[in-house]
Amino acid sequence: MNNLFIIYDKVMPEDARRLIIYALLILVLFIIIVGAIGALVRHIMKEQGKQADGLVHDVVVTGVITSEKKLFWFGVKKNQRLFFKEAWIPFLIMLVSSLILLIFCITNNAWGKNPFGMDQFGTIFHHFDWDGAKGEFFGMWIVVRWPEVISEPHFSADAWGSYIFVPGILVGGIWFLVDVQAYIARDWKLYKLSKRVFNKTLDDYNPNDAPAQEANPENPENE
Amino acid sequence: MKLFLKTLGYGALYIVLSPAIAAILVFYFIYCIGIFLFQAIRNTIVFFSGGTVGGDLAPDVEAKKILLQKQRDKLEEKPEPAPQPQQNIYVFNGAVPQNGFPNPQSQNMQRPQLDQQTPFGIEQQTQKQIAEPQKEVPSEEVVEEAPKQNDMSFDDALMQALGIKSKRPDMSDESPKESHSMPKFNENDFDDITVSSEEDDDE
């Protein structure tokens, strides 16, 4: 450890030291951002999981279902129905976008073209010559000057299919992914509920506190 | 600091586990597409066979029946009580109204337990709290004279002073049904009273 410090203090030039410090700061910042996004996703999934309580509340309160296994599978069935209700719109968007791309490929014979490529959906963005802007910097090959513009944004008649397919698939895909996340959250909540609701534990039981109660007969469903 | 380190730790964990998280997400994405297609086919068959697409499952129907039955049982158990007629009876024992208004400092004043209190502070007593049966004073009876000692309630006196007719039930069988009259003063009643002269006031 002392050798590393000596190397850092005596041998390494000032610029290299600054570069290492900046790189470490960027790494810590990146980790913090990922952690914050993860916390946000956890919070959202917790809120989404609360819907699972409403799905199985009545059958538990009225005593229609009294076993852990039956509660979990009943909950999964209800969860699948709810997922279908929530996800049919984004699925429809993705389906329609895919149909339009299919029609585009049939009419323009564009089967081998990448709809996300520079000559398709990429025509509406700026394109820069990054390779020409690179140079050597302290032994590293990095961008050292402002790149030249290769193409300006424009619409191309040969890429009309991608203009509909790419936004549709992105919107529908992200929306569907959020519904999938909600499905996972509700499944996990149902699993925890089924374990907790019918869990017979004596951890908090104190015979001196509670009055004597009659033992309940075993439910024949559980056998 | 704790939150910062916690976020840092979770961030590092998510970066390390990101391939597993991505694999789980991709698996669930494909699984959910399968669920969606299965539900779509099932709902299409149910729709064209005349059933309800978003209908309840058997345990849901049973639970709803039980809840409905419980609601009905609740309504049958507690019927709404019929509103009982209230009679406002002013109970007041004591206080000699010298000039039509009662003397609140009278020792004979006994305030009954309050059931309600009007905005003007007049105490009322509902029929429930009265132990002895009450007899209604016939409406034809008109109070013409001032009340006698220990014979009229504070509220009766007030109302008489204001010129409002009131009904006063008899508290006991012995209470006379007499019309109230103003106290009669004799000439000798004021013999003890001395009036100070103007000269004394100036001092």
* Mean pLDDT along residues A41-64: 89
Among B6, B14, B29, select the one facing A34 at the smallest CB separation: B14
| Residue of A180, A184, A188, A221 to mutate when probing chain B, most B C-beta within 10 A | A180
DSSP β-ladder status, A140-143 and B116-117:
unpaired
User: Which of A35, A177, A8, A57 lies closest to B9, judged by CA?
Assistant: A35
Chain A interface with B: residues with Cβ < 8 Å = 28, 30-36, 38-39, 58-59, 61-65, 74, 77-78, 80-81, 83-85, 87-88, 91, 176-177, 179-180, 183-184
Mark whether B139 and B121 lie in a shared domain. Answer: yes
The pLDDT of residue A108 is 85
Domain contains B136: yes
A54, closest residue in chain B (CA to CA): B60
Domain contains B30: yes
| Residue of A24, A34, A83, A88 to mutate when probing chain B, most B C-beta within 10 A | A34
- Residue where a domain terminates, one of B53, B76, B99: B76
The pLDDT of residue A181 is 92
- CB contact under 8 Å between B39 and A81, yes or no, is yes
Among A35, A36, A74, select the one facing B59 at the smallest CB separation: A74
Separation in Å, CA A59 to CA A9, A72, A164: 70, 12, 46
Q: Which residues of chain B have pLDDT under 50?
A: 113-128, 147, 170-179, 198-203
Chain B interface with A: residues with Cβ < 8 Å = 4, 6-12, 14-15, 25, 28-29, 32-33, 35-36, 39-40, 43, 54, 57, 59-60, 62-64, 66-67
CA–CA gap between residue A138 and residue A159 (Å, rounded): 42
The pLDDT of residue B121 is 45
A30, closest residue in chain B (CA to CA): B11
- Measured CA angle at B154 (ends B152, B159), to 5 deg: 90
CA A110 to chain centre: 32
- Residue where a domain terminates, one of B44, B76, B108: B76
The pLDDT of residue A207 is 77
Mark whether B72 and B94 lie in a shared domain. Answer: no
Number of domain units in chain A: 1
- CB contact under 8 Å between A83 and B35, yes or no, is yes
Query: Which residues span the domain enclosing B144?
Result: 85-173
Mark whether B119 and B96 lie in a shared domain. Answer: yes
Domain contains A207: no
Mark whether B63 and B128 lie in a shared domain. Answer: no
Domain contains A111: yes
Q: What is the pTM of this model?
A: 0.59
CB-based burial of residue A64 (10 Å sphere; 0-12 exposed, 13-18 middle, 19+ buried)? buried
Domain contains B161: yes
Domain contains B43: yes
Residue A180 reports pLDDT greater than 70 = yes
**Residues whose CB is less than 8 angstroms from the CB of residue A182 and which lie 6 or more positions away in sequence, other chains included:** A45, A48, A51, A83, A86
- pLDDT digits over A21-50, tens only? 888 999 999 999 999 999 999 999 999 999
Q: Are A179 and A87 in contact (CB under 8 A)?
A: yes
DSSP-assigned states of every residue in A21-61 = HHHHHHHHHHHHHHHHHHHHHHHHHHHHHTHHHHHHHHHHH
Query: Which residues span the domain enclosing A15?
Result: 2-200
CB-based burial of residue B42 (10 Å sphere; 0-12 exposed, 13-18 middle, 19+ buried)? middle
